[in-house]
Structure 1
Amino acid sequence: MTISQRTIKIALATVISILIAQFFQLEYTVSAGIIAILSVLDTKKSSVTTAIQRVISTILALTIATILFQLFGFNTYIFGIYLFFYVPLAYRFNVQSGIAPCSVLVTHLLLEKSTSLTWVLNEFSLMLIGAGIAILFNLYMPSKATQIISLREQVEAKMREVLLSFDRSLQDGRGKNQFQLLDELDDLLEKARQVVYVEFDNQLLAQSTYDIRYFDMRKEQSTILRYMAINLNLCRLPTRENKILAGMFYLTADQLHEQNTGIYLMDDINALLQFFRESELPVTRAEFENRAILFQLLNDFTRFIQTKKDFYEAHADVLNAR
């Protein structure tokens, strides 16, 4: 939600809450507006959850305050005792979001020196109006679907860049792979994670975890790529095996897409593993070390492709519907 959207929602929700409270001839009507301000949050889920918590918190606060004021009278010391009981109970029942607004409502009872049903209902009504109007305004949340699609494409494009850099690194055998691309990829994944969780919290009824799982999968792949980058920097011999594995990275970069099943790539990797096993043994120490690193790279790359393959199999129904 942009600042302008939030500003409009807060302003309208505040004014309407006060007007409704005035229409029902409640006292301290401005408090309904203040509660609305506090209840306009970033997502539908957080708004509804907080509103429910504050209603429960109001019942708790008014009950404690009524008992204490009835037993010991209306004064500042009793208000302090009320807080002594109310605050820990609010945390205990996970309704602490209502501590501030509910305590303001209790001060109205203190100022009026009354806990009559009329005054208790007045305070409860202020909470219902403020929180309720805020929920109504928060039912409209712009969809982030377009932004999520864009982030998905950016993540995939950045992964292609990483794989192509791996290809170049293995081709020349200089071991100068840079981590800047991986850092940029992780930044994109973190941004995407924040966006998809906001979108998820704005889906009150039909919630889908697909986008969350997708970017979790890409994050897992990014971690594997980082391990591979470390090993790539140790490959300093431009051998035939280097070029073959580099070709696999190039092929994967060319095919990297949300819809790719990973099945054919896994077949290619298995064929490459068999080729490595049947190749002539290294002769020099440097060749032996290089072969060991290549074998580790291939094992890590197998995990990279298997991660995507597992994701596709788990979400085939969603992917096939697209």
Structure 2
Amino acid sequence: MAKWRLGYRTVKTALGAALAVFIAQLFQLDFYISAGIITVLCISVTRKESIRVSWERIAACMIGIAIGSVLFTFLGYHPLSIAIIILLFIPTAVTLGLKKGIVTSIVIIFHLYLSQDITLQLLFNELILITIGVGVALLMNSYMPNSERELTWKQVELEDDIRKIWKEFASYLRDANISWDGREISRAASTIEEAKGLALINMENQFSRNDDYFYHYFTMRDKQLNVIERMLPFISTLDDTVIQGKKIAVFMEELSDAVSPGYTAGYFLVRLDELYHEIKAMDLPKTREEFEIRSSLFYILHELEQYLIIKKMFKPDPKRTHTVSGKRLYRDQEKGDNKNNYH
């Protein structure tokens, strides 16, 4: 059973519906309760979605009023007229991309039916109802909680898991330690999925700027996690430790210590290239088992390069700060091509 909770959107919907009905009642409008219904229908998850939905409902209502006024006048006020109007209106609204305005418009059409007389006063009444309902919904949706703090903490949690993954990979290559259960990989995947959805909502709530940093960041980490998952079976099937694997383990530990959203991967790509040529210059494998291990290690080196290239293509935001592992603050920087460059 779902947990009972009172979210901010529910509160906004309740307050908005009450305010819309109060205003409509204050102006002594007919069918004033419908202003609250329109407000409830127009309150959306994001600011941009609220504006889109409001526009669709206004446009659909105008079309519904036009079709209803004409057909009720010529066909009369009886149930068959309602059926004909709806049969014409719904396909028209769908064709014009106004599907979300269908329910609101049908409510307005029923008002026309109940009035039994199309007058300018009635049409004005309906327009004011629509204006109040949509206007109050937009007012309620002008407040949206800032999700950047939550996204930042998800970033921190994800980076902690990635650090742990690299350390465990290094531990296995160095000592063949098989005690790790791999929970960080599944947890990282879950964090990325949740964060990307939240980042999309955050983008939809921005009007003044197109803030897509977090979405691109978690998309980048998603691609890197796919690389990590491809590496896992090759690492886990290595039954013996070799000097080449220990050298890669040292590289992975250094990589782990540098996980961050900022800087470039340039330093690590240079280090990886040096490591590749160092291993390639070593004596050739003497047994089939050594050949298979060496082959797996070269594949791991290839995937490490893909991991770093993905990060190199990501453009960090130098103005953002967040807490690393909940203990210290740091600011991303774009300069610095030294050993402390983060990947």
Class of the TM-score when normalised by the shorter of the 2 chains:
over 0.9
Given that 1:282 and 1:291 are in contact with CA atoms closer than 8 Å, whether structure 2 keeps it comes out as yes
What corresponds to 2:244 in structure 1?
A: 241
Q: Does 1:106 align with 2:109?
A: yes
> Partner residue of 1:140?
143
Mapped partners of 1:61, 1:109: distance in 2: 10
Quote the residue 1:285 is aligned against. 288
Question: Would the alpha carbon gap of residues 175 and 289 (structure 1) be closer, same or farther in structure 2, given more than 3 Å must change?
Answer: farther
- Tell me what 2:154 maps to: 151
Separation of aligned partners in 2, 1:51 and 1:202? 15
Would you say the 8 A contact 1:22–1:29 is kept in 2?
A: yes
How far, CA to CA, are the matches of 1:133 and 1:20 in structure 2?
9
Aligned partners of 2:262 and 2:318 also within 8 Å: no
2: CA distance, partners of 1:91 / 1:176: 58
Q: Distance in 2 between matches of 1:224 and 1:195?
A: 23
Aligned to 1:183: 186
CA contact (8 A) 1:17 1:36 kept: yes
Q: Is the 8 A contact 2:171 2:177 kept in 1?
A: no
CA deviations 1:103-129 (Å, max 9, x no partner) are 011101101112222212221221111
Aligned pairs (5 A) from 1:45-64: 45-64=48-67
Match of residue 93 from structure 2: 90
Q: Does 1:216 align with 2:208?
A: no
Name whichever structure is richer in helix by fraction.
1
Q: What TM-score does the superposition give when structure 1 sets the normalisation length?
A: 0.94
Q: Contact 1:177/1:232 (CA < 8 Å) preserved in 2? A: no
- Residue in 2 aligned with 1:301? 304
Per the alignment, residue 259 of structure 2 pairs with 256
2-side partners of 1:12 and 1:181: how far apart?
42
Following TM superposition, the consecutive aligned residue runs of length 4 or more in structure 1 with deviations greater than 4 angstroms are 174-178, 314-321
| TM-score, length basis structure 2 | 0.88
Greater Cα offset, 170-179 or 243-252: 170-179
Q: Give RMSD over aligned pairs.
A: 1.8
2:235 corresponds to which residue? Answer: 232
Q: Is the 8 A contact 2:42 2:50 kept in 1?
A: yes
Q: Report what 1:39 is aligned to.
A: 42
Q: Determine what percentage of the aligned residue pairs are the same residue.
A: 26
Counterpart residue type for residue 199 of structure 2: V
Contact 2:64–2:109, Cα closer than 8 Å, also in 1 = yes
Which residue number in structure 2 is paired with residue 121 of structure 1?
124
Question: Mind listing any 5+ residue stretches in structure 1 that lack a counterpart?
Answer: none
* Equivalent residue for 1:160, pick from 149, 158, 163: 163
